């Protein structure tokens, strides 16, 4: 939602508004310009506040936020500045704030008054990434624009090993690269210190306290209650002036729930999805077709087989898209999907992120629903790739610095954060209705029998008129065939070249000979689910090659 570059010597200066944000000296602040967003700019003496937030159809006031015009610099007295700064932070949708203060006299620095302070709202969408250098701080919603400030040697070998082993980039203030930090949901960053030696620190918030399950009142209708919550949530975004909404439809429960509510009582809605490389028994195309017909959607399906990962013509190989390890593995397909949506005029995309996590059960509830006593899990651990060096393997048990519990589940917040730039590069603002805090709290409070096997979600869709083909699919969707086909086929030459002399080998993370040997063996007959290990190694290599 925000990008900026601050020089310590500019802090507290005479900021001026321009068509794309604020400028002073060699510093700039640029809110992401979009019909779904608005920004407030306040100045009082040597203090500046830039507050960017999602617009809401429930609060479309002509006078702007709390009586302050949006999109232009407004001068206020000190008391009004402090009051408005507090009031703005009560906004219920996503927001980011940046406060810039005057530089302290001499070498002293008051921790209560840093050069800059940054805060994030509780949704976690489109977080800011930071790089702090001598005398300057850069921030951006697109980490790809900050990576050129780092060298390949900044790769964190511990997180790199975790990524290669688990195909995961855990969400936290530390990223895959030393020196590149992330402002997680509800976190606060401060930039302060003596002149020329300023440092950035990020403080995590208090954990969200998960409520206990309750008991339904007599005559309660949880399906109707869930419908009401989702419809009210979607209306906050979909009815904003200037917004053209599309919806992702995969054929699964989550996106079907969002589509059913978004389409209700509105003009024909455009939907977008991918056609998987999959066997006919999974019937993904049939489920999508039923959803499209039931809700009168104008649908576009992007064939995944035409946009295989890292294949020749990939948008990540020809410079049309960045190479970031933590972004979508199937970026090529979804980039084509979003390009088509943008060409249709869509500027807000509703997703189904967060639906899988709404019905999570506590361990005690799992035992209660299964009728079993507590016992250790018998599930075998995922095999660790043999191409990791012993030193890298030894790091896999190290505890990572992670934020406390958010209102949404860890995976939902991570998806909302690390996928946002992919949408925004196409001028599309992503919205995740199933991450709505009041919906999350409602589902957590449901008795376990309503969350078990996602009963509440299935009944919502059944009441919306969808058949058991959608509400109780016989198979889950599987993207693995596309990744395996790409790495074994059109991308194989590139991957083999990358693995011949990998930077990861020189850094002590992988054994080059073992990586080549196991990759060649996997290409002949390896399991589909092992494709992610070789993809992770390849995309990390490509990212490192693009860095200085």
Q: How are beta strands 270-275 and 245-248 bridged, if at all? A: parallel
For residues 239 and 54, give the distance between their C-alpha atoms in angstroms, rounded to a whole number. Answer: 13
- pLDDT band at 155, cuts 50/70/90? very high
Three-state SS at 115: coil
Q: How confident is the model at residue 110 (pLDDT cuts 50, 70, 90)?
A: low
Q: What is the pLDDT of residue 106?
A: 46
Backbone angles phi, psi at 349, to 5 degrees: -115, 125
CB contact burial 202-233 (16+ within 10 A = b; e otherwise)? bebbeebeeeebeeeeeeeebbeebbebbbeb
- 403-438 residue pLDDT tens: 998 888 788 889 999 999 999 999 999 999 999 989
pLDDT at position 241: 84
The burial class, CB within 10 Å (0-12 / 13-18 / 19+), for 134 is exposed
Give 320-342 pLDDT, tens digit per residue.
999 999 999 999 999 999 999 99
Q: What's the Rg (C-alpha) of the chain?
A: 24
Strands (E), 91-225: 95-100, 116-120, 129-133, 136-140, 181-182, 188-192, 199-203
Alpha helical stretches, state H, 56-108: 78-88
Residue range 159-218, pLDDT digits in tens: 999 999 999 888 999 999 999 999 999 999 999 988 778 899 999 999 988 888 889 999
Q: Is the CA virtual torsion 238, 413, 538, 320 positive or negative?
A: positive
Asked if the model's pLDDT at residue 234 lies above 70, the reply is yes
Output the pLDDT for position 208: 87
Within 10 angstroms of residue 89's Cβ, the number of other Cβ atoms is: 13
Give the per-residue pLDDT at 17: 87
Q: Residue 290 and residue 302: Cα distance in Å, rounded? A: 17
Nearest to 346 by CA among 415, 245, 416, 231: 245
Q: In terms of pLDDT, which residue wins out, 112 or 262?
A: 262
As annotated, the residues of the chain forming the CATH 3.40.50.620 domain(s) are 222-360+409-478
Residue 42's pLDDT is 94
Cα 374 to Cα 360: distance, rounded to the nearest angstrom: 18
Q: What sign has the CA pseudo-torsion 28, 29, 32, 33? A: negative
What confidence score (pLDDT) does residue 236 get? 87
User: HSE of 27 in the Cβ direction (CA atoms, 13 Å)?
Assistant: 24
CA dihedral 487, 493, 498, 499 (to 10 degrees): 70
User: Is-contact 185 404, C-beta < 8 A?
Assistant: no
Residue 525's pLDDT band, with cuts at 50, 70 and 90, is confident
d(CA 503, CA 28): 35
At how many degrees (to 10) do helices 531-546 and 492-500 cross?
70
Residue 62 — very low, low, confident or very high, per pLDDT cuts 50/70/90?
very low
What residues contact residue 127 under an 8 Å CB cut-off, 6+ apart?
96, 120, 141, 182, 183, 184, 185, 417, 420
How far is residue 126's CA from residue 424's CA, in Å, rounded to a whole number? 9
Looking at residues 256-267, what average pLDDT do you find? 90
Q: Are strands 47-54 and 129-133 parallel, antiparallel or unpaired?
A: unpaired
Whether the pLDDT of residue 476 is over 90: the answer is no
- Bridge partner list, 350: 247, 431
Is the per-residue pLDDT at 378 higher than 50? Answer: no
Distance between CA atoms of residues 290 and 270, nearest Å? 15
Q: Is residue 284's pLDDT more than 60?
A: yes
The gap between the terminal CA atoms of the chain, to the nearest Å, is 27
**Which residue from 96, 120, 100 is spatially nearest to 39, judged by alpha carbons?**
96
Question: What is the structure's pLDDT at 58?
Answer: 67
| Contact between residue 111 and residue 198 where contact means Cβ atoms under 8 Å apart | no
What's the CA angle centered on 132, arms 536 and 157, to 5 degrees? Answer: 30
Each residue of 351-373: pLDDT tens digit? 998 888 888 887 777 877 776 55
Report long-range pairs for 72-76 (Cβ below 8 Å, ≥24 apart): 72/17, 72/41, 73/15, 73/16, 73/17, 73/22, 73/41, 73/42, 73/43, 74/40, 74/41, 74/42, 74/43, 75/42, 75/43, 75/44, 76/42, 76/43, 76/44
Closest CA to 36 of 346, 258, 343, 340: 346
Say how far apart CA 400 and CA 193 lie, in whole Å. Answer: 27
CATH of 2-203, one of 1.10.3470, 3.40.50, 3.60.20, 2.60.40: 3.60.20
Q: Which of 21-35, 139-153, 356-370 has the lowest mean pLDDT?
A: 356-370
What are the residue ranges of CATH 3.60.20 in the chain? 2-203
Q: What percent of the chain has pLDDT over 70?
A: 93
**Mean predicted lDDT score pLDDT of the chain:** 90
Question: Residue 66 — pLDDT band, cuts 50, 70, 90?
Answer: low
| CATH fold label, 222-360+409-478 | Rossmann fold (3.40.50)
Q: Is pLDDT of 454 > 90?
A: yes
Q: How many helices (H) and strands (E) does the chain have?
A: 18, 19
Instruction: Return all residues near 289 (Cβ < 8 A) that are at least 6 apart.
Output: none
């Amino acid at each position: 939602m925000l990008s900026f570059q601050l020089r310590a010597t500019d802090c507290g200066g005479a900021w001026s508004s321009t068509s794309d944000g604020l400028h002073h000296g060699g510093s700039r602040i640029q809110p992401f310009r979009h019909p779904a967003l608005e920004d407030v700019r306040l100045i009082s003496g040597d203090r500046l506040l830039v507050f960017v937030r999602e617009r809401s159809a429930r609060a479309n006031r002509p006078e702007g936020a709390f009586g302050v015009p949006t999109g232009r610099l407004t001068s206020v007295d000190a008391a009004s500045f402090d009051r408005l700064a507090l009031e703005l932070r009560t906004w219920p949708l996503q927001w980011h704030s940046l406060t810039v203060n005057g530089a302290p006299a001499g070498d002293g620095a008051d921790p209560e008054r840093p050069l800059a302070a940054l805060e994030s709202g509780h949704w976690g969408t489109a977080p800011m990434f930071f790089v702090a250098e001598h005398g300057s701080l850069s921030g951006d919603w697109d980490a790809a624009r900050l990576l050129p400030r780092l060298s390949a040697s900044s790769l964190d070998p511990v997180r790199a090993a975790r990524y290669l082993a688990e195909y995961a980039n855990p969400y936290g203030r530390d990223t895959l690269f030393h020196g590149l930090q992330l402002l997680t949901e509800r976190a606060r960053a401060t930039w302060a210190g003596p002149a020329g030696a300023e440092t950035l620190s990020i403080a995590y918030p208090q954990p969200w306290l998960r409520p206990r399950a309750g008991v339904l009142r007599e005559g309660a209708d949880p399906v109707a209650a869930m419908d009401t919550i989702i419809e009210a949530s979607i209306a906050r975004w979909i009815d904003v002036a200037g917004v053209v909404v599309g919806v992702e439809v995969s054929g699964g429960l989550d996106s079907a729930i969002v589509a059913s509510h978004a389409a209700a009582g509105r003009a024909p809605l455009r939907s977008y999805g991918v056609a998987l490389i999959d066997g006919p028994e999974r019937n993904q195309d049939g489920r999508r077709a039923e959803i499209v017909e039931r809700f009168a959607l104008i649908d576009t399906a992007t064939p995944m087989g035409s946009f295989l990962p890292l294949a020749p013509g990939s948008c990540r190989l020809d410079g049309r898209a960045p190479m970031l390890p933590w972004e979508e593995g199937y970026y090529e397909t979804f980039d084509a999907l979003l390009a088509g949506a943008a060409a249709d005029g869509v500027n807000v995309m509703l997703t189904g992120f967060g639906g899988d996590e709404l019905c999570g059960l506590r361990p005690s509830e799992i035992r209660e629903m299964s009728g079993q006593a507590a016992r250790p899990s018998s599930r075998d651990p995922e095999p660790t790739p043999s191409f990791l060096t012993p030193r890298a393997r030894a790091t896999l048990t190290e505890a990572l610095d992670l934020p406390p519990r958010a209102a949404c589940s860890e995976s939902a917040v991570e998806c909302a954060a690390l996928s946002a730039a992919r949408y925004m590069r196409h001028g599309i603002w992503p919205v995740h209705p199933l991450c709505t805090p009041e919906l999350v709290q409602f589902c957590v409070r449901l008795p376990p029998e309503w969350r078990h096997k996602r009963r509440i979600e299935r009944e919502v869709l059944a009441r919306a008129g969808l058949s058991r083909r959608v509400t109780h699919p016989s198979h889950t969707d599987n993207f693995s065939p596309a990744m395996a086909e790409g790495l074994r086929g059109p991308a194989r030459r590139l991957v083999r070249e990358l693995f011949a002399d990998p930077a990861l080998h020189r850094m002590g993370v992988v054994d080059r000979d073992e990586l080549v040997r196991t990759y060649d063996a996997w290409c002949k007959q390896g399991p589909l689910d092992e494709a992610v290990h070789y993809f992770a190694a390849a995309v990390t290599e490509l990212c490192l090659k693009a860095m200085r």
